[in-house]
Amino acid sequence: MRDVAIIGIGMTRFGELWESSIRDLCVEAALACFNDAGIDRLDSITIGSMSSGLFTGQEHLASLVPDYLGRRNVPAVRVESACASGGQAVRTAFLEVASGMSDVVLAIGIEKMTDVSGGEATYALATAADQDYEAFHGVTFPGLYAMMARAHMERFGTTRDQLAQVAVKNHENGSHNPHAQFPFTVTRKQVINSVMIADPLTLLDCSPITDGAAAVLVAPAEMARELQRGPLTVITGIGHATDTISIAHRADLLHLDAIELASSRALGMAGKTIEDIDFAEVHDCFTIAEILVLESMGVVPAGQGGPATLDGLTALDGDFPVNPSGGLKSKGHPVGATGVAQICEAVTQLRGAAGDRQIPNARIALTQNMGGSGGSSVVHIVEAR
């Protein structure tokens, strides 16, 4: 396989973007990406979107996106893996370039979630859960993650302060991100005392409903070197895995097998260990999710994610910074765009261009994107060369 580099990144602002349609957001992110790369060549497009039909009534993004981008006749495909759809779009683009099928591929992640009511959005998101054994009985994703959180508290003694610190840390990071939906700081007291959603998770333990798009342009590393537009960023490892869609069918409610396998495969492909990673963007759809991911990836032992977070391990100045972008919690979570936005943050950090949230001397990044309650996951290792 050929070495694959990221030659351009682009994002919209994340938030309630009433003035923009799904096509507007795709075009805005793509044009920003082309401008960043300094080229306008395009051989193929991959689009990650979880549920554009349910959120906007618009399917067939594989025709819509190249049409409104002014690239009719360019091959395009939409990929879906629930909230991991964006990561899968990048993975698909990587494989197309690595195989030699194409030289320049655009990966776009998109979701326009606020054009429907809260109930309709809840229904659309619940399609990523097991319809017969979970959704049919009224269990929502906040409910599923709340059960995980309660089980973690009972088994390991995890506290509300430890869960709340995930939100505090990520909002602090997001307050320095101009793309973030909620760029403000919060306190642990505010998190704990916010509106209860599913005990023990409150409103500020949960990622928001968001509109937004993100894009990356990938090409052979040799082409990237010829462009000479800043530090070379190369995707050196990718891991992908799945698990049961229902949490009741898993051997251990508190261990995410898909995350363990995906991260192990990505690190193995890159020839790295978790100790080599300078920072990570992980899927903090709920505060407990970030803790479970850290434990499942082997950053800390089982049960130690809460104490490690409270002790500052995952802060910007900690030994293993997590979610310098603000994560899904502060930056926002337009589900199909999240995995691509994680790659954008990784590249921004590796270029040394993250401003007040910059991690010093960052050279190796990990991004972890997850579908549903851990039923699928894709992990990328991105390195500066």
pLDDT, residue 229, reads 79
Give the span between the Cα atoms of 342 and 352, in whole angstroms.
16
Amino acid at 323: N
Does 10 score more than 80 pLDDT? yes
Label residue 150 exposed, middle or buried (CB < 10 Å: 0-12, 13-18, 19+): middle
Top-level class of domain 118-208+236-384 = alpha beta
Mean pLDDT of 35-51: 96
pLDDT, residue 228, reads 76
230 band by pLDDT with thresholds 50, 70 and 90: confident
Mean pLDDT of 56-66: 98
Percent of the chain with pLDDT over 90: 98
Mean pLDDT of 272-286: 98
User: Do 4-117+209-227 and 118-208+236-384 come out as alike in CATH topology?
Assistant: yes
Q: Tokens for 46?
A: 């991959």
Does 164 score more than 80 pLDDT? yes
Residue numbers annotated as active site: 83, 333
Q: Tokens for 365?
A: 């990044």
Within 10 A of 317 (CB to CB), how many other CB atoms are there? 8
Mean pLDDT of 241-249: 97
Percent of the chain with pLDDT over 70: 100
Which residues, at least 6 apart from 170, have a Cβ–Cβ distance to it below 8 Å? 284, 290, 323, 326, 327, 329, 330
Mean pLDDT of 286-303: 98
Residues 227 and 38: beta-carbon distance below 8 Å: yes
Mean pLDDT of 103-126: 96
pLDDT, residue 282, reads 98
| SS3 per-residue string spanning the chain | CCCEEEEEEEECCCECCCCCCHHHHHHHHHHHHHHHHCCCCCCEEEEECCCHHHHHCCCCHHHHHHHHCCCCCCCEEEECECECHHHHHHHHHHHHHHCCCCCCEEEEEEEECCCCCHHHHHHHHHCCCCCCCCHHHCCCHHHHHHHHHHHHHHHHCCCHHHHHHHHHHHHHHHCCCCCCCCCCCCCHHHHHHCCEEECCEEHHHECCCCEEEEEEEEEEHHHHHHHCCCCCEEEEEEEEEECCCCHHHCCCCCCCHHHHHHHHHHHHHHCCCHHHCCEEECCCCEHHHHHHHHHHCCCCCCCCHHHHHHCCCCCCCCCCCECCCCHHHHHCCCCCCHHHHHHHHHHHHHCCCCHHHCCCCCCEEEEEEEECCCCEEEEEEEEEC
149 band by pLDDT with thresholds 50, 70 and 90: very high
Give the span between the Cα atoms of 13 and 27, in whole angstroms.
13
| Residues 302-328 pLDDT 10s | 999 999 999 999 999 999 999 999 999
Does 127 score more than 90 pLDDT? yes
Mean pLDDT of 93-110: 98
pLDDT, residue 337, reads 98
Give the span between the Cα atoms of 272 and 298, in whole angstroms.
13
Pairing mode, strands 201-202 and 279-281: unpaired
Which CATH fold topology does 4-117+209-227 show? Peroxisomal Thiolase; Chain A, domain 1 (3.40.47)
Domain ranges of the chain: 4-117+209-227, 118-208+236-384
Within 10 A of 93 (CB to CB), how many other CB atoms are there? 31
Mean pLDDT of 198-226: 97
Mean pLDDT of 21-47: 97
Pairing mode, strands 196-198 and 4-11: unpaired
pLDDT, residue 272, reads 98
Does 62 score more than 90 pLDDT? yes
